[in-house]
A and B are shown apart, each in its own frame.
Chain A
Amino acid sequence: MSELKAIIEALIFASPEPVTLKALQKLLDTEPPEDVKAAVEALKQDYDRPGGLQVVEVAGGFEIVTRPELHEWVRRLFHERTTQKLSVAALETLAVVAYRQPVTGPEITEIRGVNTAGVLSTLVERRMIKVVGRKQVVGRPFLYGTTREFLERFGLNDLSDLPKVEDASELLGFDLPDTISTPTPQTALPFDGSDGGESVH
Chain B
Amino acid sequence: MDEPRQLDFESILEDYPVRLQIFEGPLDLLLHLIKKHEVDIYDIPIALVTQQYLDYLDLMQELDLEVAGEFLVMAATLIHIKSRTLLPRPDPTQEDPEEDPREALVRRLLEHQKFKAAAELLHEREIQRGAQWGRPDGRVADIVGEAPEPEIEVDLFSLMAAFRQVLERARQRPQVPLPPEQISIETRIAQLLARLSETEACGFEQLFEDVETRGGMIVTFLALLEMIRMRKVRVFQQGNFGPIRVYRRAPMSESANA
In the assembled complex, 15 residue pairs joining A and B whose CB atoms fall closer than 8 Å, in A order, are A58-B129, A78-B143, A80-B148, A81-B141, A83-B130, A91-B123, A95-B116, A98-B118, A99-B118, A112-B27, A147-B257, A155-B129, A156-B125, A176-B117, A180-B118
* Contact residues in B for A112 (Cβ distance below 8 Å): 24-25, 27, 112, 115
Total A-B Cβ pairs within 8 A: 165
Given contacts A114-B70, A180-B118, contact A172 B113 (CB under 8 A): yes
Tell me if B135 and A13 are in contact (CB < 8 A): yes
List, in ascending order, chain B residues with CB within 8 A of A16's CB: 135, 137, 250
Stretch in B56-64, B103-111, B219-227 touching the partner: B103-111
- Please tell me the size bucket of the interface on B: 35 or more
**B139: interface (CB < 8 Å):** yes
Mostly helix, strand, loop or mixed at chain A's interface? mixed
Which residue of A23, A82, A154, A174 contacts B129 across the interface (Cβ within 8 Å)? A154
B122 CB to nearest chain A CB (Å): 6
Partner of B256, one of A17, A63, A113, A114: A17
Question: At the interface, is chain B mostly helix, strand, loop or mixed?
Answer: helix
A44 CB within 8 Å of chain B: no
Contact B35 A148 (CB under 8 A): no
Chain B, 220-257, CB within 8 A of any chain A CB: 250, 252-253, 255-257
Q: Give the residues from 48 to 87 in chain A that come closer than 8 angstroms, CB to CB, to chain B.
A: 54, 56, 58-61, 63-69, 71, 74, 76-83, 86
Q: B119 contacts which chain A residues (CB < 8 A)?
A: 88, 91-92, 94-95
C-alpha spacing A60/B255, complex, angstroms: 13
Tell whether, in the assembled complex, residue B141 and residue A154 are in contact, meaning their CB atoms are under 8 Å apart.
no
